[in-house]
Structures are given as structure tokens and as C-alpha cells.
């Protein structure tokens, strides 16, 4: 099956018409028609990532139809709690603005309800409910993976830096969401995925400056429109 036909099949399976997929990706409906008909043979890289993200599949699966885990996990249980069911775990959501931009000042960290996640999904990922919180992201420096107003699930037990992972961390009074890399000399490089925007340049914290960084946890899932 061609990627064009696979795109159409997945779109229909998700219950999306062409106009809605186009709106979410940021293209015109005729462009979606050209993708599915084969008139356009190659995706632009940025659109490819957006389409895969909206449809909830990996880029690899969309293009080739083969991958170990084709569908991205959708762990949230929407709607009312499941009566008499043990399937749902309520993860606390917090009124804190986590910046994927230059940094956001934090004044309060008050619970703001909760979000229901499937217990089986949490267990399959080796996570523990007591270590998890949900926060909302501001800014686009981690686009396209994390967009403005996306929510992220943070595992607060994971505070040791592993190169290439995304963390929520505090620098003085700023709370940020960035990808961190450990350098051989012990310093830490703070990286924004959105390299197209000149505002988002890498920062390096020397070993002496690491005292100003507090790791709150690693991002283990993100969700958005």
C-alpha cells in the first residue's frame, strides 16, 4: 500500500474529513486531496511530522506501514469516571505555566483538578501514579513535538539527566521544558527543538552553574490537538 492510500485509510479510521485534517495540520483541503490521490508524491518534512502527530501514528508507519509500535499511545480516558472500574487513575494537574520559550516565572503551584489516564497504560510504561503530574506548556520552542498549549505528563522520579530526553526544570524562578544533553566535561546543554526560530539558541550550564538548575522530572507523554 502506498503512503497516500495509508494516509486516507488512517484519516477515515480516525473519523476526520479532509477539511478537518487540513485545519489541524495548517494546509488547505485541496492539499490533503492531492496527498491522498498521489498528485503530491512527497511530504514536506514539517507537514509530515504534523500529519503523523494529528493522526496519532509514527512517521515511519505513515510512510512505510512498518514499525514495531505503529500507533502512538492514547492513554487518556475522556468523559466521566468509569463507574465501578479500576481502569482509571486520576493524575493531578497543576496551575503552573511551563515555558517552552525563554522561561516563565512561577508564583503559585496549586492543584487544578486532574486528568484520567488508563491504569494499564501507566503500568505498561513502568510508571507510578504517585510520581506523576500534568502541566501545560506555553510557547513553541519545542515544536513540532510539543506545541503551544499542549499538556505533558511529567515523571518526578526521573531527575537524573539522560542526554536527549525532555525535562521540566527550574532555573531560579523560571520553569522550563527543554531537551537536555550532558557534555563530557559535566556541563549541561539546554536545547530547543525549534531551530528554525533564531530566538531559541542552545544554552550551556557549566558544572558550577548546575546549582541553579532543579530538575522536576522527565516528560513521559505529551498530548494536544
What are the pLDDT digits (tens) for 152-204?
Answer: 899 999 999 999 999 999 988 788 899 999 999 999 999 998 888 888 899 99
pLDDT tens, position by position, 79-98: 444 333 457 788 888 766 66
Q: Is residue 88 a contact partner of residue 118, using CB atoms and an 8 Å limit?
A: yes
Q: Is residue 216 a contact partner of residue 168, using CB atoms and an 8 Å limit?
A: yes
pTM: 0.62
CA–CA distance, 202 with 121 (Å, rounded to integer) = 34
The ranges of the chain annotated as CATH 1.10.260.40 are: 3-64
**105 pLDDT tier (thresholds 50, 70, 90):** very low
CA–CA distance, 146 with 194 (Å, rounded to integer) = 10
Give the CB-side neighbour count of residue 183, counting CA atoms within 13 A.
14
Q: What pLDDT score was predicted for residue 69?
A: 46
CATH placement of domain 88-223: 2.10.109.10
In sign, the C-alpha dihedral spanning 95, 159, 150, 8 is negative
The ranges of the chain annotated as CATH 2.10.109.10 are: 88-223
Who has greater pLDDT, 170 or 56? 170
pLDDT(73) > 80? no
Report angle CA 156, 50, 165 to the nearest 5 degrees: 25
Q: What pLDDT score was predicted for residue 216?
A: 93
Give me the CATH topology for the region 3-64: 434 Repressor (Amino-terminal Domain) (1.10.260)
Scan for cell 520552542, then name that residue. 141
Amino acid at each position: 500500500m502506498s503512503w497516500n492510500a495509508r494516509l486516507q485509510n488512517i484519516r477515515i479510521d480516525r473519523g476526520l474529513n479532509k477539511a478537518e485534517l487540513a485545519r489541524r495540520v495548517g494546509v488547505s483541503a485541496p492539499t490533503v486531496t492531492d496527498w491522498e490521490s498521489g498528485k503530491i508524491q512527497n511530504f514536506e518534512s514539517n507537514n509530515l511530522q504534523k500529519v503523523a502527530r494529528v493522526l496519532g501514528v509514527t512517521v515511519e508507519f505513515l510512510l512505510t506501514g512498518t514499525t514495531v509500535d505503529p500507533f502512538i499511545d492514547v492513554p487518556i480516558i475522556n468523559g466521566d469516571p468509569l463507574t465501578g472500574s479500576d481502569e482509571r487513575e486520576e493524575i493531578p494537574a497543576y496551575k503552573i505555566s511551563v515555558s517552552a520559550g525563554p522561561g516563565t516565572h512561577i508564583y503559585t503551584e496549586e492543584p487544578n483538578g486532574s486528568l484520567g489516564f488508563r491504569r494499564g497504560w501507566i503500568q505498561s510504561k513502568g510508571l507510578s501514579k504517585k510520581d506523576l503530574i500534568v502541566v501545560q506548556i506555553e510557547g513553541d520552542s519545542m515544536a513540532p513535538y510539543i506545541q503551544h498549549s499542549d499538556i505533558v505528563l511529567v515523571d518526578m522520579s526521573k531527575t537524573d539527566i539522560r542526554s536527549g530526553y525532555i525535562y521540566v526544570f527550574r532555573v531560579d524562578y523560571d520553569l522550563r521544558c527543554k531537551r537536555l544533553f550532558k557534555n563530557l566535561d559535566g556541563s549541561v546543554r539546554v536545547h530547543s527543538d525549534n531551530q528554525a526560530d533564531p530566538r531559541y539558541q542552545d544554552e550551556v550550564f557549566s558544572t558550577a552553574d548546575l546549582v541553579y538548575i532543579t530538575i522536576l522530572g522527565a516528560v513521559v507523554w505529551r498530548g494536544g490537538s
